[in-house]
Amino acid sequence: MDVMADDPKRDAVMENVDAMRRAMVMALVDMCSIPAVTPANGGQGELKKVEWLQEHIKNFGFDEFARYDAVDEEHPEVVRPNLVAIRHGLHRDGPTLWFVAHTDVVPEGDLTLWESDPWKPVIKDDRVVGRGVEDNGQPLIASIYAVKAVAEAGVRQSINVGCALVADEEMGSRYGIQFLLDKGVFRKGDLVMVPDAGLSKGDLVEIAEKSILWLKFKVVGKQGHASMPHRAKNACEAGIELAYRVNKELKGAFTETDELFDPPYSTFELTMKVANVANINTIPGEDIFFMDCRVLPERSVDEILDTVRRTMKQVGDRYGVTIHLSVVQQERAAPRTDPESRVVSLLSEQIRHVLNVEPKVYGIGGGTCAAYFRKKGFDAAVWSKFDESAHSANEYAIIQNIVEETKVFAMMILRA
């Protein structure tokens, strides 16, 4: 069937998406009622959510299902499942168009900031509110319902279509997309769509990411009474100076810009700080804090570490404390996806068709599954119609965004 020229079939698919609006919203509510926080963040993992998804999509028109369960080396009692569903195309030996969405979510954070229970999503006005509804629930639902809309229109698309619903994205993808890549699930020539970044207008297609470097600093001094500072070594004071100086040194030394990225420069942000002592009149003997670095591809992560270690030595010598540095996560920037690649062109065409906006390519701070594909030689495009509420209190997904994303994905399936 030539779906390129068959307007009635294309119209039928779009009508199916509109008719599925309420079903998609309720599926998002039900799915995000199942916490899927990684064990590294104190949760029970993604298994219950994936089991729900397996049951939910069994009649969506997929021809193959497979589960790839990774063994979490630090939490072997927790199953880390990856669900792969494929709908065959007319050319089964040809490439597959993949939609790669993640099932894990970040913790809820400060509960006092939420206006409703983060694990009991609610429909409020034009949006769904709850943890994980935008990141990555909205595009996950859009991906699977795009396949359903095509199948129920009676269309057998030309290309194979796969939905890879993966674990562990929020903590580095070791048990998710990296695991699937090692298993050989994806083949040379496949098209990879990662719906995990974007803005509300829907006109930005991500083709590049910065290097990621997460650092943990542990300052070890000597605990003592606050009235007797000469008998202690104040780890908190040393830690504060270290944090200030590392931040200042990095921001002063790495000033290059690249207008492809938003923001167009490397970023160095102090983030989490671990509580030290429980009372005011004790000088802490230990101070721990973290930093998130997102580095333009033109600069080496090793340069960052050299600057950090030099500053650590200076502060350590001044205060007579020992400073330990741990690299929590390090991902060097992958090659950029060619803006003229088939997947970027295919996606851009459907954005124009469905949203009536002109897409442009850009780069982000990093952290999506696309980087792992790019390192393996796959062209990967990242796009969503997000309102950027991910990871915040009262995270929300705009219902119309779900519908429009689904239409874009369905059109990609028809046009590929």
Q: Model confidence over 152-163: pLDDT tens digits? A: 999 999 999 999
Q: Is 172 left (phi over 0), alpha (psi -120 to 50) or beta?
A: left
Distance between CA 208 and CA 70 in Å, rounded? 28
The mean pLDDT value for 218-235 works out to 98
Which residue has tokens 């230990």?
286
Q: Same domain, yes or no, for 173 and 218?
A: no
Q: Which two tokens stand for residue 182?
A: 């090692």
Whole-number pLDDT of residue 362: 96
Q: Same domain, yes or no, for 165 and 218?
A: no
CA 281 to chain centre: 42
Distance between CA 248 and CA 15 in Å, rounded? 55
Q: Same domain, yes or no, for 138 and 151?
A: yes
Out of 269, 296, 331, pick the residue that ends a domain: 331
pLDDT tens, position by position, 269-285: 999 999 999 999 999 99
Q: Same domain, yes or no, for 309 and 361?
A: no
Q: Do the Cβ atoms of 213 and 295 come closer than 8 Å?
A: yes
Q: Same domain, yes or no, for 14 and 155?
A: yes
Taking each helix axis from N to C terminus, what angle separates 138-152 and 399-415, rounded to the nearest 10 degrees?
Answer: 50
Out of 331, 355, 379, pick the residue that ends a domain: 331
Structural domain includes residue 236: yes
pLDDT tens, position by position, 22-35: 999 999 999 999 99
Give catalytic residue positions. 104, 169
Q: Same domain, yes or no, for 165 and 204?
A: yes
Q: Same domain, yes or no, for 93 and 232?
A: no
Mean pLDDT rounded to a whole number for the chain: 96
Whole-number pLDDT of residue 4: 46
Distance between CA 28 and CA 199 in Å, rounded? 20
The mean pLDDT value for 305-317 works out to 98
pLDDT tens, position by position, 381-401: 999 999 999 999 999 999 999
Structural domain includes residue 197: yes
pLDDT tens, position by position, 190-204: 999 999 999 999 999
Q: Same domain, yes or no, for 133 and 271?
A: no
Whole-number pLDDT of residue 1: 41
Spell out the residues 6+ positions from residue 258 whose beta carbon is closer than 8 angstroms to its own: 264, 265, 296, 297, 298, 363
Structural domain includes residue 274: yes
Q: Same domain, yes or no, for 242 and 201?
A: no
pLDDT tens, position by position, 318-367: 999 999 999 999 989 999 999 999 999 999 999 999 999 999 999 999 77
pTM: 0.88
User: What is the domain-level CATH number for residue 257?
Assistant: 3.30.70.360
The total of structural domains in the chain comes to 2
Helix (H) or strand (E) holding 6: none
Q: Same domain, yes or no, for 111 and 235?
A: no
| C-alpha angle 394-399-404 in degrees, rounded to nearest 5 | 130
Closest among 343, 319, 336, 169 to 245, alpha carbons compared: 319
Spell out the residues 6+ positions from residue 306 whose beta carbon is closer than 8 angstroms to its own: none
Distance between CA 380 and CA 374 in Å, rounded? 6
Neighbouring-strand partners of residue 224: 283
Q: Same domain, yes or no, for 197 and 154?
A: yes
Q: Same domain, yes or no, for 151 and 237?
A: no
Q: Do the Cβ atoms of 219 and 323 come closer than 8 Å?
A: yes
Closest among 45, 330, 28 to 167, alpha carbons compared: 45
Percent above pLDDT 70 for the chain: 99
Whole-number pLDDT of residue 345: 98
Range of the domain at 337: 7-209+333-415
